[in-house]
Amino acid sequence: MFHGLTEQKNKEERKANKKLRKLSEEQRMEIENQRNDDFQMRRKLFEEEERRKEEYKQQKMNERKEKERLKEIARRKENEQMRREEEQRRKQKELEEYKLREKEEQRRKQKEQENEKQRAEERRLAEEMQRAEERQRIKEMIRNEEIRKRHELLDKEIQELQIKFPNLTYRNCLLRLCKKYHPDKNPNIDPEYIKLITSMMK
């Protein structure tokens, strides 16, 4: 009896065994061989079917692995593309930041140059003003010195007039000096003398 067969086949097998016992030894051997051959054939068919199933399963597994491999390759390519794009964006951003820093540095240098020019101009103007003040101060000193000398000269002439004409008052002496230094009588005389005499009369 073959285990693993259906109940119907087992019944058929028992009936065949009863019939087999009624036959002769040669007939039984022939039937037994035929049955063994059928069994071997069914076994081969079963094994062939199992082998095909296993091959089909292996084929499907290989196809699934191939699909997964292709998906992994595609995913890696996509990740690599994304990485390249990200690297390109990063480089572009760094380039823009570098250009921005360059522009800021240029503006800063230009502003420093303008400030330096402005400070140089201010220093130049201050030096010119200082030189102008110095020249003005020197001119004032020279003018004061000339006025002092004129004043000394007039005082000396007044003293000489008072010695020569004792009866003349100080004002009359100044009037005489006015006539002496008047531009109508002496066109080449310094007009500052008249101004100084006028100031002395007040």
Of residues 54 and 25, the one with the higher pLDDT is: 54
* Residue 2 reports pLDDT greater than 50: no
Phi, psi of 79, rounded to the nearest 5 degrees = -65, -40
Binned at pLDDT 50, 70 and 90, residue 3 comes out as very low
How far is Cα 152 from Cα 51, in angstroms, rounded to an integer?
146
How far is Cα 57 from Cα 34, in angstroms, rounded to an integer?
34
Residue 97, class by beta-carbon neighbours within 10 Å (0-12 exposed, 13-18 middle, 19+ buried)? exposed
Q: Which amino acid is at 198?
A: T
Number of C-beta neighbours around residue 17 at 10 A: 13
Binned at pLDDT 50, 70 and 90, residue 89 comes out as very high
Lowest mean pLDDT among 11-20, 117-126, 152-161: 11-20
The mean pLDDT value for 120-145 works out to: 91
pTM above 0.85, yes or no: no
pLDDT tens for each residue of 149-178:
888 888 888 888 888 888 878 888 888 888
